[in-house]
Structure 1
Amino acid sequence: MVHDEPVYDPKRTGSWLICTACGTQFPTADRKERTTCPICDDMRQFTPPTGQAFTTLDEIRSYAKNVWTPFPCDDRFVSIVTEPKVAIGQRAVLIKTPRGNVLWDCITLIDDDTIEKIKALGGLKAIMISHPHYYTTNIEWARAFGCPVYITSEDEGWRQQTSGHQIVFEEAEFDLPIDGAPSGIQVLRLGGHFPGSCVLLHGGRLLVADTLVTTPSGLGGWDADAAGAARAARPPGMNSYAFMWSIPNMVPLDPDTMRRMWDILKKYEFGSTHGAFLNTDIVKTAPEMKRRVLESMQIQTAFMGFKGHALMEEKLD
């Protein structure tokens, strides 16, 4: 129980301003008080050519809905995406565990239908957000389900609202607690895109958001042609991920940062990765997935001109 915390009340917050570019909610309905979005004014993001604009949850609820799509490879994971697209268009992922449900990342739209569906599945025990671009309406979600929302200490300064539901953590690697006990969900703070950017690992599936950016060549199907005929193996030298400080502005991460990310990630096994958007899922085997991550880091390092960097000497056991 969070004391002195307002309860979820869509009428009270439905008119609050929401940035149309990133989906972040601000605790005011006054368009003279709020004229800019600090998230979009940051060099990692952007304000559209048409200029800063705001919407509200009331407006979004009038035309949009959340669509549910179970992972084809594992129905313990369900993508939740708003249609038509709102702001960045990322997905939240509902993760079903024996100890309760956890939401990975957040989307702006929360409405009665979404709340009813999640409560029918047992509600939420926790929300874990990968980085500030997906903070959106996290407090509305936390209040609706009476659960904590986890945010890294390195990125807490990007919060546009604070709440007693928010738990700011400092650990680089930890098991996300549910009702005070381990859940089996590993949170890995890799950094990179933001200083506190995280990935989540559960059941051999690595949810990467934008911390690892899934590339078209990572998703490409070289095992068969469009008619199903067998083809040769995937060509060598293809990447599966890019590692970006800014995705929309195409600013890559440096080799030292990628090396720090790899030093954490290489300790874990995972057989698939699942990016920030629908259809950014790579499902293979654990050895191949780790090989793809390391090869992608080394491809980026080499083409940035750092062929002598220590990351190029890393090998899998």
Structure 2
Amino acid sequence: MRGKYENKFQKVGDRDGEEQMWSIWTEPKFGIGQRCVFVQTDHGNVLWDCMTNLDEETVNFIKQKEGLKAIVISHPHYYTTHLEWAQVFDCPVYLASNDKEWISREDQRGCRRFIEGTSQQIIPGVTAIKVGGHFPGSLVLLWNKKLLIADSFVTTPSALYHVDRLPGTTSYAFMWAIPNMIPLPPAELHKMWQAIRPYEFHSTHGAFVGQDVRDEKVKDRVLESMKIQTRAMGWEKHALLEERLP
């Protein structure tokens, strides 16, 4: 990929800790064009998700900021060159044990760590939460009341508009197959809600640059979107529809 492609770096925001989060993506667009999110914390740095291109500029950018303590990957679509990233930065890479069947390469250096339970602290203050749905082991990552969601929760265009939103407008979709637009059923949505219900977050950060939703009521918007999807599939009664914020 040398010569034709290059990685770009941009702070996710300039306040509330977002200045410690960096989007990294490849131009021209490669594959689906997802971003990694590089998170600088007081206990070390974490890379959320992975992409194919690992060039010298990216290595230098991350190493100048004290490298990586860990890589966490949301789901198998982003496994890509994670072994190369882990080797270069001499750090473990965390995957959900539920998705082992999608691993296609041998880990000769023992870089992989498998998340077995419903959640795991990666480093102090950074927690991976297994929500399932899109894949059995699909993860989200919580840091500093910021929820990095990849496409475990798909950020919709209307999510970015907070004012004068029409009733029934979703902020997120919850999909089994995103390109084929096959939604997840209410039973799966309920499990996903139960996984994140104990946690507080005030923003979500999706799979692509610009998919950052900032709202003190964003958790409510996740639940609202799940209920809208459930009702749209014809359910007038379901345990999910009875859920309320704790």
**1:184 matches 2:125:** yes
Deviations 1:190-231 (A, max 9, x none): 000000000000011000001000001111353xxxxxxxxx
**1:170 matches 2:116:** yes
Letter in 1 for 2:58: T
Deviation at residue 240 of structure 1 after TM alignment: 0.2
What secondary structure is seen at the aligned counterpart in 2 of 1:269? coil
Q: Residue 192 of structure 2 is aligned with which of 251, 256, 261?
A: 261
Letter in 2 for 1:124: L
**1:63 matches 2:7:** no
> What is the CA–CA distance in structure 1 between the aligned matches of 2:57 and 2:101, rounded to whole Å?
32
> What is the CA–CA distance in structure 2 between the aligned matches of 1:171 and 1:95, rounded to whole Å?
23
For 2:139, the equivalent position in structure 1 comes to 198
Question: Could you list the runs of 4 or more consecutive aligned residues of structure 1 that deviate by over 4 angstroms after TM superposition?
Answer: none
Q: How does 1:102-181 map to 2 (within 5 A)?
A: 102-163=46-107, 164-177=110-123
What secondary structure is seen at the aligned counterpart in 2 of 1:257? helix
Q: How does 1:87-106 map to 2 (within 5 A)?
A: 87-106=31-50
Deviations 1:236-276 (A, max 9, x none): 22110000001111010000000001011111110000000
**1:310 matches 2:239:** yes
For 1:218, the equivalent position in structure 2 comes to 159
Q: Residue 227 of structure 2 is aligned with which of 285, 298, 304?
A: 298
What secondary structure is seen at the aligned counterpart in 1 of 2:2? helix
Q: Which moved more, 1:292-301 or 1:156-165?
A: 156-165
Q: How does 1:18-33 map to 2 (within 5 A)?
A: none
Question: How many residue pairs end up in the alignment?
Answer: 241
For 1:53, the equivalent position in structure 2 comes to none
Letter in 2 for 1:307: E
For 2:149, the equivalent position in structure 1 comes to 208
Deviation at residue 184 of structure 1 after TM alignment: 0.8
What secondary structure is seen at the aligned counterpart in 2 of 1:103? strand
Question: Which 5+ residue runs of structure 1 have no aligned equivalent?
Answer: 1-59, 178-182, 223-232
Question: Which 5+ residue runs of structure 2 have no aligned equivalent?
Answer: none
Q: Residue 237 of structure 1 is aligned with which of 130, 154, 168?
A: 168
> What is the CA–CA distance in structure 2 between the aligned matches of 1:202 and 1:184, rounded to whole Å?
6
Letter in 1 for 2:224: E
- TM-score (structure 2 length as normaliser): 0.95
Letter in 2 for 1:290: K
Give % identity. 50
What secondary structure is seen at the aligned counterpart in 1 of 2:46? strand
What secondary structure is seen at the aligned counterpart in 2 of 1:75? helix
